[in-house]
């Protein structure tokens, strides 16, 4: 008896996971080894549980299914991904297929069809819901002759084409239509000639699109060719993609034209949109409300989303962890690196509740162990005691924080760097420093989207302007201070497009 197929269920709705698990629990050939409620958890669970098939939803918080597919297949290419979702839009379907999903079925699929789909992808055979298959066929066969296909072909040629679609070779087709092999080859050549096609694969896909052959009877190799054609990120099938050993063709190159540039632009826009969603999904939903304190925080993403983020973490014993960070680079990679960093910070902040440099050391070690490099993150982390006002902090290569004192004391303190950025090296230790916030003090933490904002003449806003703004707002609330700083940055930049994200935290101790 063979071992059961190891399945990981990924869906953000627990009731859906329970239902699928109950259904699959009746199948002796299938074993559900784990569950995940978002893409990040799916990547981690794949590493820990080694599933053979991942049943993946697409629309999930934190990290969506598309990015999870990419991450999983990058690290574990032997895993088969079967998308199970209610999403049928062009964007999600093509993004999932291009990411490497081997199957795409909908949540209205019958239970026995779901079980069959799992077994098929486990055998490395594609499986597609008919609606999804038609969508893919319409895309990759765009421009191919259709509509009059049945009228163009004889009944014998249609029979030959249907058997070809089922994966029959020439001898098997000859037996099925009571013809000789030579007659079958003549029919195939006639089909290609009438339809102005180059290969048998093109003829099969066109037959599926036009309904002359049944999708559920199509040979896996043709569905695989369909997926490969979509994954080539072209709007039409190249002859290279559809070449078969029985029908050789010449390679055909195509210059990048307007349609290709438009497609690339749309993909870029989609990546920025998804990166922005990941970025915003990790921001805290609410700020601490504590007597004697005010907190204000804001993230303003640039068009080319970077990896800026902030976090306020509730810690034991009346403490709050303040995090502000900036990942190098832009787009999806930076957003995912940000998501990893934020998750690690939250994990180790709960374990190392007194020494911020120990948190950074733990996070840095995990980043270097779990990623392949190419990114690093500047980060300020402070542990604020809400009873005493003491702030223990470490600054990992981040722009210095600013502490503006009340009018009865030294007006300004700068919270300088105490170590290098995270993700660079294992060897350099970080240090912790401490400072006390008195009633009337404002702590201002920011990313370089503020200090490096440019005006029309490429002059930087700079730290000095930020300090002057902070000093001018020392008698204001945290929210008013935040708004004043952002308004000054906007006024300084004028019509210049924002080149980088802006993240800003203001923590104020209310004067007695």
My answer on whether 353 and 488 are in the same domain is: yes
In a domain, 314, yes or no: yes
With tokens 């240090």, the residue in question is 431
Of 474, 473, 508, the closest CA to residue 295 belongs to: 508
My answer on whether 307 and 445 are in the same domain is: yes
My answer on whether 217 and 287 are in the same domain is: no
Rounded CA-CA distance 395/356 in Å is 9
Is the Cβ–Cβ distance between 115 and 55 less than 8 Å? no
My answer on whether 202 and 304 are in the same domain is: no
Instruction: Select the highest-mean-pLDDT range: 204-213, 346-355, 407-416.
Output: 346-355
Domain final residue pick, 103, 131, 159? 131
In a domain, 180, yes or no: yes
Distances (CA, A) of 351 to 143, 324, 360, 363, 481: 60, 19, 12, 12, 33
Which pLDDT value is given to residue 228? 59
Domain final residue pick, 131, 160, 194? 131
In this predicted structure, the answer to whether residue 435 has a pLDDT above a threshold of 90 is yes
Higher pLDDT pick, 140 / 28: 28
Higher pLDDT pick, 465 / 243: 465
My answer on whether 149 and 249 are in the same domain is: yes
Q: What is the CA radius of gyration of the chain?
A: 29
Is the Cβ–Cβ distance between 402 and 466 less than 8 Å? yes
Pairing of the two strands 442-446 and 502-509: antiparallel
Rounded CA-CA distance 300/501 in Å is 6
Rounded CA-CA distance 93/96 in Å is 5
What CATH code is carried by the domain that includes residue 472?
Answer: 3.60.40.10
What CATH code is carried by the domain that includes residue 223?
Answer: 1.10.10.10
In a domain, 265, yes or no: no
Residue ranges of E strands in 328-455: 377-385, 390-396, 401-404, 412-415, 433-436, 442-446
Task: Flag the least confident range among 64-78, 135-149, 348-362, 440-454.
Answer: 135-149
Q: For the chain, percent helix, then strand, then coil, each to nearest 5?
A: 45, 20, 35
In this predicted structure, the answer to whether residue 124 has a pLDDT above a threshold of 50 is yes
Rounded CA-CA distance 442/265 in Å is 43
In a domain, 260, yes or no: no
pLDDT band at 139 (very low <50, low <70, confident <90, very high): low
In this predicted structure, the answer to whether residue 229 has a pLDDT above a threshold of 80 is no
Burial of 479 per CB tally in 10 Å (0-12, 13-18, 19+): middle
My answer on whether 345 and 216 are in the same domain is: no
With tokens 């990981």, the residue in question is 8
In this predicted structure, the answer to whether residue 1 has a pLDDT above a threshold of 80 is no
In a domain, 395, yes or no: yes
Range of the domain at 44: 5-131
My answer on whether 185 and 319 are in the same domain is: no
What CATH code is carried by the domain that includes residue 64?
Answer: 3.40.50.2300
In a domain, 263, yes or no: no
Which pLDDT value is given to residue 135? 65
Three-state DSSP at 111 gives: helix
My answer on whether 48 and 195 are in the same domain is: no
My answer on whether 325 and 427 are in the same domain is: yes
Which pLDDT value is given to residue 263? 46
Split into its structural domains, the chain has a count of 3
My answer on whether 26 and 173 are in the same domain is: no
Domain final residue pick, 131, 162, 178? 131
My answer on whether 348 and 479 are in the same domain is: yes
Three-state DSSP at 436 gives: strand
Query: What predicted TM-score, i.e. pTM, was given to this entire model?
Result: 0.50
Higher pLDDT pick, 512 / 252: 512
User: Within 13 A of 165's CA, how many CA atoms are on the CB side?
Assistant: 24
Higher pLDDT pick, 417 / 87: 417
My answer on whether 250 and 287 are in the same domain is: no
Q: What is the mean pLDDT of residues 157-161?
A: 84
Rounded CA-CA distance 409/352 in Å is 32
Which pLDDT value is given to residue 478? 93
In a domain, 262, yes or no: no
In a domain, 403, yes or no: yes
pLDDT tens digits, 358-381: 999 999 988 888 776 567 889 999
Q: DSSP of 214-263, one letter per residue?
A: -GGGS-HHHHHHHHHHHHTT-SS--HHHH-BTTB----------HHHHHH
């Amino acid at each position: 008896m063979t071992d059961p197929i190891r399945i990981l269920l990924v869906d953000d709705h627990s009731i859906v996971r329970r239902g699928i698990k109950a259904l699959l629990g009746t199948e002796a050939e299938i074993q559900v080894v784990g569950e995940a409620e978002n893409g990040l958890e799916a990547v981690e669970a794949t590493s820990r549980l080694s599933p053979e098939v991942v049943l993946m939803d697409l629309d999930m918080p934190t990290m969506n299914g598309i990015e999870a597919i990419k991450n999983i297949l990058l690290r574990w290419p032997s895993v088969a991904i079967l998308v199970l979702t209610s999403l049928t839009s062009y964007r999600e379907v093509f993004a999932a297929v291009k990411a490497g999903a081997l199957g795409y079925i909908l949540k209205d699929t019958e239970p026995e069809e779901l079980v069959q789909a799992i077994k098929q992808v486990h055998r490395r055979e594609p499986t597609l819901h008919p609606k999804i298959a038609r969508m893919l066929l319409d895309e990759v066969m765009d421009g191919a002759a259709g509509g009059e296909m049945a009228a163009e072909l004889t009944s014998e040629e249609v029979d030959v084409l249907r058997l070809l679609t089922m994966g029959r070779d020439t001898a098997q087709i000859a037996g099925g239509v009571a013809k000789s092999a030579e007659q079958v080859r003549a029919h195939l050549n006639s089909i290609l000639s009438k339809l102005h096609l180059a290969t048998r694969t093109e003829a099969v896909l066109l037959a599926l699109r036009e309904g002359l052959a049944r999708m559920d009877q199509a040979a896996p190799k043709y569905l695989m060719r369909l997926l490969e054609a979509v994954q080539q990120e072209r709007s039409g099938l190249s002859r290279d993609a559809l070449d078969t050993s029985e029908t050789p063709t010449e390679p055909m190159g195509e210059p990048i034209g307007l349609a290709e540039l438009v497609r690339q632009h749309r993909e870029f826009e989609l990546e920025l949109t998804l990166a922005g969603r990941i970025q915003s999904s990790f921001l805290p939903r609410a700020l601490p409300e504590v007597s004697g304190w005010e907190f204000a925080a804001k993230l303003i993403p640039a068009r080319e989303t970077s990896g800026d983020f902030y976090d306020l973490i509730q810690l034991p014993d009346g403490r709050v962890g303040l995090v502000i960070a900036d990942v190098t680079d832009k787009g999806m990679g930076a957003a995912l690196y940000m998501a990893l960093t934020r998750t690690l910070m939250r994990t180790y902040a709960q374990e190392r509740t007194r020494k911020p440099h120990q948190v950074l050391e733990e996070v840095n070690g995990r980043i270097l162990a779990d990623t392949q490099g190419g990114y690093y993150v500047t980060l300020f982390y402070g542990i604020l005691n809400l009873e005493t006002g003491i702030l223990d902090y470490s600054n990992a290569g981040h722009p210095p924080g600013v502490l503006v004192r009340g009018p009865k004391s030294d007006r300004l303190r700068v919270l300088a760097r105490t170590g290098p950025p995270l993700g660079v090296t294992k060897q350099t230790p970080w240090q912790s420093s401490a400072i006390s916030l008195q009633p009337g003090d404002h702590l201002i933490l920011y990313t370089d989207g503020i200090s490096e904002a440019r005006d029309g003449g490429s002059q930087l806003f700079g730290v000095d302007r930020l300090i002057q703004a902070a000093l001018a707002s020392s008698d204001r609330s945290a929210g008013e201070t935040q708004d004043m700083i952002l308004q000054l940055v906007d006024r300084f930049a004028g019509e210049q497009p924002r080149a980088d994200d802006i993240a800003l935290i203001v923590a104020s101790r209310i004067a007695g």
